[in-house]
Amino acid sequence: MGAGKRSLTMAAVAVVCALTVLGAPVTAYASQTQPTDPTPTPSPSGAGTGTPDADSAPVTNEELEAVRAKLEGLYHDAAVATDAYNAAEEKADKQSAEIVDLANEIVKGQEKLDKLQDLIGAAARAQYRGGSLPPEVQLWLSENPQEFLEGADRLRQGQLATKGLLAEMNRTQDDLEQYSKDASARWQKLEANRKAKEKAKKKIKKQIATAEKLEADLEDDERERLAKLEEDTARQKQAAWLDSGILDEIDGKASEQGKKAVKFATDQIGKAYEWGAEGPRTYDCSGLTSQAWIAAGRGIPRTSQEQWRQLEHIPVENMRPGDLIIYNADASHVAMYIGDGAIVHAPRPGRTVTIAGAGTMPILGVVRPDA
């Protein structure tokens, strides 16, 4: 075996072997334990033991509002990082599949190259003996061997055959080299996305840990007051949205696929939020909406940002059940409209899939998966 053939074979083997360890960094990464909690924002009351501190002053509503706003910001940042994590994971899956395809092409190309070399050897031996082309070479060159044999004398046939086989062998070698280069480039992209995924995961954990610590440091009565403050804030935002008269304009009827998507999403009510999750036991916001539409028979992008970028935009007043409402200026959250001014969504860590008012968060726009 020549040096060129050996190098191409080794390239194919290297790619195939690489595939066996392809999932190792990501799998190991996905099973990492939680990092050390970052230093939390101090609690207004400090103790966090669930029993009031006699020496501390009661937490005012203004202070609790500051805590609520801080939590909202932390969970928003976690949602942005979650989208980055999900996007990197989706790219990694695609690149892994591309590498597998390239490895298969390399294997098939090497098999073709081996066959061509055997045919060239057979042609050379036949010409040396002064005989005609061997049957396997005749079949390689033409679907009609008889017409081929009638077209030229035996010597000319042998020369043309050998030249054609050599040209085909060179093309196959070039293809193998290109496949190897493409596989290497995709492997580098896969590694870059793995690092991006790792960075996003660390940021998510940091943001969630900070938020959870901030809530944990509140006293029991303060957490109750905070929960009521969050409910009141959401209620006020929904009331303001409804007071705009928007429901008078929204009267769209769900499509058959939209009904299926709504049913799937509402069937998940009560299941916990988990960033990066696509079910069946836990979901993040875009994991819920993407899986609901897959269940309805239509695949859509995995992340809220890509759902906003790729799906058809619909005016809010024209939305119908099954449409997706994208929230925040950076498209960091998504929910499914279910009618009567309500949505079903996976809100954030520490919460479960639930029904809420469509106007409780700043709406960026509406997209329709089955437009």
Which residues are known to be catalytic? 285, 333, 345
**Alpha-carbon torsion (265, 269, 271, 275), positive or negative:** positive
Q: Which residues of 246-259 are buried (b: 16+ CB within 10 A; e: fewer)?
A: beeebebebbebbe
Q: Residue 270 corresponds to which tokens in the numbers above?
A: 């009560």
Q: Which amino acid is present at 128? A: Y
Contact 312, 368 (CB under 8 A): yes
Measured CA to CA, the distance from residue 355 to residue 347 in angstroms comes to 10
Contact 38, 206 (CB under 8 A): yes
Q: What is the DSSP letter of 316?
A: G
Measured CA to CA, the distance from residue 260 to residue 295 in angstroms comes to 7
218 φψ region: left (φ > 0), alpha (ψ -120 to 50), beta (else): beta
Determine the 3-state secondary structure of 338 from DSSP.
strand
